[in-house]
Structure 1
Amino acid sequence: MKIAFYGSSLLSSYWNGAATYYRGILKALASHGYDITFYEPDAFDRQQHRDIDPPEWARSVVYPATREGLRSVLAQAAAADIVVKANGVGVFDQELLEGVIAQSRPDALKIYWDVDAAATLDEMRGAPSHPVIRALPDLDMVLTYGGGPPVVNAYTGFGAAACVPIYNALDPETHHPAPADPRFTADLGLLANRLPDRETRIEQFFLEPAAQLPDASFLLGGNGWHDKSMPANVRAIGHVGTADHNAFNCTPRAVLNVARDSMAHIGFSPATRVFEAAGAAACLITDAWEGIELFLIPNAEVLVARDGQDVAEHLEALTDDRARAIGQAALARVLAEHTYDLRGQQVHAIFQQHRQRLTEAA
């Protein structure tokens, strides 16, 4: 079966936190025999910051971020059995959504795949004519990379025929334990782009503990922090490509996850960074959000912080032995229950069930 997938970028993680998720899910689906083409616009300097070559498990089509480029790739939707529009492409999102619905065959499975459901739903609540609300009657399902029952209930309340969370996970071939790298030496590391709906939380959970612990070292990777005022013991190193994520996660004594405002509020939304860190057997400290125990056991496989004071206290109490024990327990858990192979099996089953229902209804 052919899948046409319209997303932000498969080839670059630059200002594109969904890259790891797309790669993991689509690689897993390819193992089930799906013929996948990923369409991504040439935008936001992502093609100048590619961190993988075009993979063998999916065709990559990079199109000009123009209306002519848009028309050229939308025309390809008619050849696909499954057509996916992901949110957050960043270029002609509304036109893409409307176009894939218009261009898809009547028998094609049409999916809106929301990799930022909490934020999308916030927009929808404030805009009764939101493009996604208008599109839902013509879509077969919504898939999300998090959100749990609150997101499922919200989407079905807006009229989605079905909504299923497909959570982030681990690809152990790409994210795994690695030797420490002196470039990333620190007591606490954080990988996070500077975004308006996460900056205040990063101040609270990362910069405030740094100010409280002047003798500890803090490492911040990600775009946009170059002009941010920070304590002297924080070292900001800019964008860290996915090839360096394993070393980044394995080198500091602990690494931190900080959810965006909307995801922290709605819960059940583990970021890709959670599974990348666990896959590297890193000792992870995460901000508190509902549902964390579905993925990692607090105090055994992850340390949970309600605020910056908790982060500081975790760091002060954390011995090397305990950090290693937490990291190894997290690695065992995600390998057993949270790999992209398992997520791919879940999505494959969803696709098969939909096809079976169409056959029975014919």
Structure 2
Amino acid sequence: MKLVVLGLSLSSSWGNGHATTYRSLLRAFAARGHDILFLERDVPWYSGTARDLSDPDFCRLAFYPDLDALDQHADAVASADAVLVGSYVPDGIAVGAWAQRTARGVTAFYDIDTPVTLAALEAGTCTYLSPALIPGYGTYLSFTGGPTLERLRNHYGSPDPRALYCCVDPALYRPRHDAKRWDLSYLGTYSPDRQPVLERLLLDPARRAPDLRFVVAGSQYPADIVWPTNVERFEHVGPQDHAEFYGSSRMTLNVTRADMVKAGWSPSVRLFEAAACGTPIVSDVWDGIDSVLEPGRSIALARTGDDVLTLLRSWGDRDRAVMAEAARAQVLAAHTAAHRALELETTLAGRA
């Protein structure tokens, strides 16, 4: 199959989770014998030192400076068996309309941010997708499952909405035997709607437990945040260092964006990455999490800082290891890049 992807970024993991998602999925898709061209808008914030994958070995990567320059790739798009347009692509509405006009094969929208997208569509503020475009995509691949799929079909007219959850490459994310530097870690870009939960489940426990060690890694956090002295900060941890980061954590925290909590069934790629690394996870609470990991057995849920401190204080190494092993087994059984690549292949072939 010849696949063309127009996505936010493959080349840079700085300040976004799209790059690692695309890398895992497309590497596994290429391993199934498919040919891939990734078209990325050349923007300054994903260039220079922020560009940590400029020459992938699993696909061709081409940059375009503006909308007009997309016409240089019209023949590749027209001859492709499938064309995938991703969420948050700059000028994504115009890009999507161009792709639908130009492609002769299957067109699909790949939404790595489904609840955020739908909230923006409802508010009339979405810059990368419009309601008019949705019926024109042959399939809508959503990071969110559950009732959201029926909403996409019945309210927005998608002919084929399907869940295509994020995934993990177990060759890159695997258990390590690093010394434990932190009792609780968090890896994620700043988001205003996540920050109150991070405050409740990590920063407040850190202030109340000065003997414990915490870390927050991620970009775009406001300069006026006052971090407790026992919270270490990293502006960025590249994908090549994720396994070491998780391996150095006794537990890691998952925090979900508000729109995704509301929609449910929106597992973060960080869940799968941490689980594959054998790091026990404590997460905020949302509907559908039990369809991915089993609360109390393969993941711990917390609503309050007290819940987090109880986990950190009362659980021993053996308790954490048992939970981590159960999570890793579940993820390797159903949520690897190889699983998603097969799902993507089956979906696109079925729409051809």
Task: Summarize the Cα distance change of 1:44–1:217 in structure 2 as closer, same or farther, 3 Å threshold.
Answer: farther
Residue 215 of structure 1: how far off its partner (Å): 1.6
| C-alpha contact (below 8 Å) 2:146/2:264 kept by paired residues | no
* Aligned partner of residue 174 in structure 1, secondary structure: coil
One-letter code aligned to 1:119 = V
* CA deviations over 1:294-329 (Å, ceiling 9, x no partner): 111112111111233322221122212211221122
> Which residue of structure 2 lines up, in the alignment, with residue 282 of structure 1?
279
Alignment of 1:136-285 (within 5 A): 136-145=134-143, 147-156=144-153, 157-180=155-178, 185-225=181-221, 227=223, 228-285=225-282
* Aligned partner of residue 4 in structure 1, secondary structure: strand
Establish whether residue 127 from structure 1 lines up as the match of residue 128 from structure 2: no
* Aligned partner of residue 276 in structure 1, secondary structure: helix
Alignment of 1:105-116 (within 5 A): 105=104, 108-116=105-113
Separation of aligned partners in 2, 1:7 and 1:34: 18
One-letter code aligned to 2:245 = F
Separation of aligned partners in 1, 2:22 and 2:157: 26
* Aligned partner of residue 148 in structure 1, secondary structure: coil
Instruction: Give 1:326's match in structure 2, choosing from 323, 326, 337.
Output: 323
One-letter code aligned to 1:201 = V
Task: Summarize the Cα distance change of 1:33–1:203 in structure 2 as closer, same or farther, 3 Å threshold.
Answer: same
Residue 353 of structure 1: how far off its partner (Å): 1.9
Residue 72 of structure 1: how far off its partner (Å): 3.3
| C-alpha contact (below 8 Å) 2:15/2:220 kept by paired residues | no
Residue 181 of structure 1: how far off its partner (Å): 5.8
TM-score by length of 2: 0.93
| C-alpha contact (below 8 Å) 1:225/1:236 kept by paired residues | no
| C-alpha contact (below 8 Å) 1:63/1:73 kept by paired residues | no
| C-alpha contact (below 8 Å) 1:201/1:261 kept by paired residues | no
Separation of aligned partners in 2, 1:211 and 1:75: 58
Separation of aligned partners in 2, 1:218 and 1:79: 51
Alignment of 1:28-43 (within 5 A): 28-43=28-43
> Which residue of structure 2 lines up, in the alignment, with residue 95 of structure 1?
94
* CA deviations over 1:112-138 (Å, ceiling 9, x no partner): 111100011111223399842111232
Separation of aligned partners in 1, 2:97 and 2:349: 25
Residue 196 of structure 1: how far off its partner (Å): 2.2
Separation of aligned partners in 2, 1:303 and 1:44: 40
Task: Summarize the Cα distance change of 1:150–1:60 in structure 2 as closer, same or farther, 3 Å threshold.
Answer: same
* CA deviations over 1:128-187 (Å, ceiling 9, x no partner): 998421112321110012x212220111121110100111122111111123167xx111
Separation of aligned partners in 2, 1:10 and 1:19: 5
One-letter code aligned to 1:294 = S
- Cα RMSD (Å) of the superposition? 1.9
One-letter code aligned to 2:17 = G
Establish whether residue 349 from structure 1 lines up as the match of residue 350 from structure 2: no
One-letter code aligned to 2:189 = N
TM-score by length of 1: 0.91
